[in-house]
Structure 1
Amino acid sequence: MNSDRKDLYPEVTAAGGLVSAMKEAAKLRGGEIWPVPSAIDAITIETARGLVSVVPATVERLFRVRVHIPGSTGDIPGFSWEIGSTDNFGLLVEMVAAWRERVPFDELAARFTFLELDEFARALRRGEPTSSQWADLLSAEFHRRQWDLLRRLHADETLRHMFPTISHGAVRLRVDLFDGASRQVLVYELDGGSYEARVGVPGASWVEVPPGDLIAYLRAALNEQ
């Protein structure tokens, strides 16, 4: 940490940096976080609710907290929200650990009054990340090969509300955009016009599905999970 900021963040300086300080503080409180360095004097923590970044202010003692949901490709920025700031390092560490443990939003707001979650929660309720992800995938030249399949899936009233990603050429739809283990299916378009689909369980077999049966098969597969 820069020498002119030592007086602002003595516990961070003593620990050798923000990454070490947060890991040590979380451990002392019986929690666990795994921050990844993202910039000088800033860190990013990967969680099931997006990427949480912590940036110390330079002219005053203040830890600024932001949540980011990456876009569908590396050149698409995704969504970011400022969710609060605090000068209390202990509370900051407890909040990040609670966020990582998926404590309900109303409980987070009650425990950590410095948080401002209204905009973030409203965006989730409106489905903004999901609708934007669909738009990004349907317009990204990198995913042109999947456009026809994406359009077919997006046309269904149920499937368009699921969060889409593309993995090794297959389209993955999952119910909860933050939960990689939530109900989901993978669909791969074959050269002959038919599809292979797999319920999102490790080790599950791919099943070939005729084009006319695809939507019905996916709905049934999701209901069975």
Structure 2
Amino acid sequence: MGTYQKDLYPDVTASGGLGPAMKEAATLHGCDIGLPPWQSDVISIETARGFVSVHTATEKRLFRVRVDIIGFAEGVPGFAWEIGSTDDLGSLVEAVAAWREGMPLDGLKARFEFLELDEFARAIESGEPISLQWSGLLSSDFHRRQWNLLRRLRADEVLRNMFPSITHGAVRLCVDPFPLLDGTKRQVLVYEPDEERYEVIRPGVPAADWVGVPTGDLIAYLRAALNEE
């Protein structure tokens, strides 16, 4: 069980953890947040629009709501963004339940003023997160080192339909931006240590290791890897 400052989260402490506190609040407010019974402090709820996670702030009472759309496997970072925060546990569980039930974003924003539903969240609702993500990575100076590789991958008619992200300097391509919690198949990491040389790994595949791939074979190799079940 996590340690909570009693002056910040007395309700969480009294319930025995964030998970039990959210379940009790959901019951009190008559809503279903879909929280698995075994979760206590690490809160992650599967929805049709990604995995909703909740974290508590340490500097003041604040429940931070985040949406994760890839990752969750051990050693495989995900892509996540915060969609708002509130100090009210009741409002929190009602918002999580409404997100889980598929309430349109305009309705969510009107009902829960603490939610910050930016362009990326709206792309999720419209079913167009992939093109927005490509554009975001290719316009970010922080990822300038990966621009050449990103442009090469996006130029392919198949790979441009994969969801891209960058972790530890490698480009990740994922077939499904909403994988199952325990699913790490159908994604690859591509690292470019120098020009004309690539290293590729398939996270989650038993005994997977980095494989050197010649530049001329890269696109075909990635297509084949992402097409395997």
Q: Taking structure 1 as the reference length, what is the TM-score of the superposition?
A: 0.56
Give the C-alpha shift of residue 82 in structure 1.
Answer: 0.9
Q: Greater RCO between the two (CA within 8 Å, min separation 6)?
A: 2
Instruction: Tell me what 2:223 maps to.
Output: 151
User: Alignment partner of 1:11: what SS?
Assistant: helix
Instruction: Tell me what 1:132 maps to.
Output: 164
User: Alignment partner of 2:97: what SS?
Assistant: helix
Contact 1:83–1:120 (8 Å) recurs in 2: no
Per-residue CA deviation, residues 117-152 of structure 1 (Å, 9 max, x unaligned), is 1143255335238431783535443379xx759638
Unmatched tracts of structure 1, length 5 or more: 153-164, 171-225
Matched AA of 2:56: P
Instruction: Tell me what 2:201 maps to.
Output: 141
Distance, in Å, in 2 between the alignment partners of 1:72 and 1:24 is 26
Instruction: Tell me what 2:7 maps to.
Output: 7
Give the C-alpha shift of residue 77 in structure 1.
Answer: 2.4
Instruction: Tell me what 2:98 maps to.
Output: 98
Per-residue CA deviation, residues 41-72 of structure 1 (Å, 9 max, x unaligned), is 44222222111111111121111111101249
* Rg comparison, structure with higher value: 1
How many residue pairs match? The answer is: 156
Instruction: Tell me what 1:108 maps to.
Output: 108
Q: 1:46 to 1:31 in 2, by over 3 A?
A: same
Contact 1:69–1:79 (8 Å) recurs in 2: yes
Contact 1:53–1:66 (8 Å) recurs in 2: yes
Contact 1:37–1:44 (8 Å) recurs in 2: no
User: Alignment partner of 2:43: what SS?
Assistant: strand
Q: State how 1:63-82 maps to structure 2 within 5 Å.
A: 63-71=63-71, 75-82=75-82
Per-residue CA deviation, residues 9-62 of structure 1 (Å, 9 max, x unaligned), is 122122221111111211222222233599984422222211111111112111
Q: 1:58 to 1:39 in 2, by over 3 A?
A: farther
Q: How many percent identity over aligned positions?
A: 53
Q: Over the residues paired in the alignment, what is the CA RMSD in angstroms?
A: 3.7
Matched AA of 2:10: P
Per-residue CA deviation, residues 177-213 of structure 1 (Å, 9 max, x unaligned), is xxxxxxxxxxxxxxxxxxxxxxxxxxxxxxxxxxxxx
Contact 2:8–2:60 (8 Å) recurs in 1: yes
Q: State how 1:1-225 maps to structure 2 within 5 Å.
A: 1-2=2-3, 5-35=5-35, 41-71=41-71, 75-124=75-124, 125-127=128-130, 128=133, 130-132=162-164, 135-136=173-174, 137=187, 139=190, 140-142=200-202, 148=220, 151=223, 169-170=228-229
Unmatched tracts of structure 2, length 5 or more: 135-161, 166-171, 175-186, 191-199, 206-210, 212-218
Q: 1:37 to 1:54 in 2, by over 3 A?
A: farther
Q: Taking structure 2 as the reference length, what is the TM-score of the superposition?
A: 0.55
